[in-house]
Amino acid sequence: MSDVRLALRQVRFTNKAFWRNPASAFFTFAFPLLFLVIFTSFLGNGTAAFRLASGVVVRIKQSSYYVAAMAAFSVVTACFTNVAMSVTFQRDAGILKRTRGTPLPGWAYLTGRVLHAVGVAVLLVIITTAFGIASYGADLPTGILLLEFVVVVIVGGMSFAALGLATTAAVPNADAAPPVVNAIILPLLFLSGIFFPVDSTSPAWIRTVGAVFPVKHFADAMRAGFYGSPFAFEWHDVLILAAWGLAGLFLAARFFSWEPRK
Amino acid sequence: MSETAIEVTGLRKSYGDVEAVKGIDFHVDRGEVFALLGPNGAGKTTTVEILEGYRDPSAGHVRVLGHDPARHERALLRRVGIVLQSVGVDPYLTVRETVELYAGYYPDPRNVDDVLAVVGLTEKRDTRVLRLSGGQQRRLDVAIALAGDPELLFLDEPTTGFDPGARRNAWEIVRNLTALGKTVLLTTHYMDEAQDLANRVAVLSKGEIVAEGPPDTLAGRDEMIARIRYRVPQGSPPLPEWGQMRLGNGTYEMIAEDPTKMLHELTSWALERGVRFETIEVMRPSLEDVYLELTDAEAGAE
């Protein structure tokens, strides 16, 4: 069997186990939809004013704003949070150590994890979008926008999964995985316009955090891909995202541990 | 093809200031069951994990099926099966799916259902791993190690936590493997396991091999002085002065430099007087006695 087929085979088995784990499947899928309902209920399905860097004020439906934001959130959950936690769990349980003693190449195992996470992320984006359209009449991207949107989802998914793998190196054991992973991602989600808008009127330090870390670039690109003009789709957002992904890949290759930490 | 499956010379391994393995030599022939015995902390697992490629040696020379395991070559990994101590599998896959998953990593795997039958998990094939008992999970470990049809099997304490029946079954599995010409490197705490399975054993103590040989003759065990223990019925005539110790309840024990001659004397005396021994046995030091002696009884402290 070729190595690529081995990696794809890993996806199949990872997927089987994923759907049978009630905690990971439920939270990964339920949270984005739950949050979408909560935010739109709180804020009403009215319009939100959003000041772009150019000074132009955009008015969009609250629901539309949150459909794109929750789609971004779901990708981060499926790829970053879920990969970091479940791979740490597998490492702690000795599953990675056992795998290491077989002829399966390490990269095939890790590629399988990344591809599975991206697959789940794509499914989540489709569900979130469909839910947004059906419940709130949010608008669906079409044409070139749809293409840009898909590119952002794939690049974002792979980058966050690579960062999730790298994060496992910083987590001492499975018990520490939820606090460490959440400590990294929750502040970023708040500061990157996922839970409430961050625009040119936001405090400077928040905008700096957003400019440095990948979540805001991802959220911006998702929003631009979702609505199009006047939100400008910036390829540099995608490039910064990809750069973070490569950095994650490098760190994972350098520091990833296949054995439980004692 | 070389007749030696594993060759270890001058192997050392240090963790910081602690030297876990202090320069050991041994070899394992093809088709042989070789057991590493020793108390916890003696260096068994360190040695085995170096042979499996999980640890790099600090010094010395190691060859497994002609390869250097530290290089982690697939050509080697395809030919070995590994049962580690306490490592898990995905709890949400079924028994059959798990073995199928691992079998798929090997170029010429065994039939999954055959493997499940060998370890006695056929009835549990559709059960998720998280619902297996400890002993069943251990059998699954063995099944996974067998899935790739390996030439060489590493079994690190394979029957720890088994009930006696399950242990007998596990031994049967290992015997069947050797019948197929497989080589097995076993570590164990159980002397009866080593006695029953191993062609040769090496006793590790504090990072050094303190004895090596077939279990029956380990450390000159077969030539050690025997003891005879017997019990006479109540009301028997007084025993002659043979140097016996009274253990109470009509039971006596004595050292016998020549047990054949001594038994003759004992039974002649008894026949002449119409005495029937209730029990009579000749005892050599067991593998366990020798082991405890060799390892300084430090095992008892664990």
| ipTM at complex level | 0.86
Q: Does A15 touch chain B (CB under 8 A)?
A: no
Are the Cβ atoms of A16 and B86 closer than 8 angstroms?
Answer: no
- Verify whether the Cβ–Cβ distance A93 to B53 is below 8 Å: no
Q: What is the pLDDT of residues B162-216, one digit of tens each?
A: 778 778 888 888 888 888 889 999 998 888 888 888 899 998 888 888 888 888 7
Mean pLDDT of A132-143: 75
Looking at residue B301, its pLDDT comes to: 43
What's the average model confidence in pLDDT over B97-102? 95
Rounded CA-CA distance A111/A4 in Å is 9
Task: Check B92 against A95: CB less than 8 A apart.
Answer: no
pLDDT at B1: 52
Long-range residue pairs from B164-172, CB within 8 A, at least 24 positions apart, any chain = B166/B135, B166/B139, B167/B193, B169/B120, B170/B139, B170/B142, B171/B196, B171/B197
How far A201 CA sits from the closest chain B CA (Å)?
48
Tell me the backbone φ, ψ of residue B279, rounded to 5 degrees: -140, 150
Say yes or no: A93 contacts chain B, CB-CB below 8 A: yes
Task: Please write the tens of the pLDDT for every residue from A146-189.
Answer: 888 888 999 999 999 999 999 999 999 888 989 999 999 988 88
Instruction: Please state the separation of Cα A32 from the chain's center in Å.
Output: 11
Q: pLDDT at position B302, please?
A: 40
In A, which residues are within 8 Å of B102 by CB distance? 102
pTM metric for this prediction: 0.83
Contacts of A21 in chain B (CB under 8 A): 92
The C-alpha atoms of residue B83 and residue B33 are separated, in whole angstroms, by 15
Kindly calculate the radius of gyration of chain A based on its CA atoms and give it in whole angstroms: 19
Measure the CA angle with vertex B219, ends B216 and B225; round to 5°: 80
C-alpha span between B77 and B148 (Å, rounded): 10
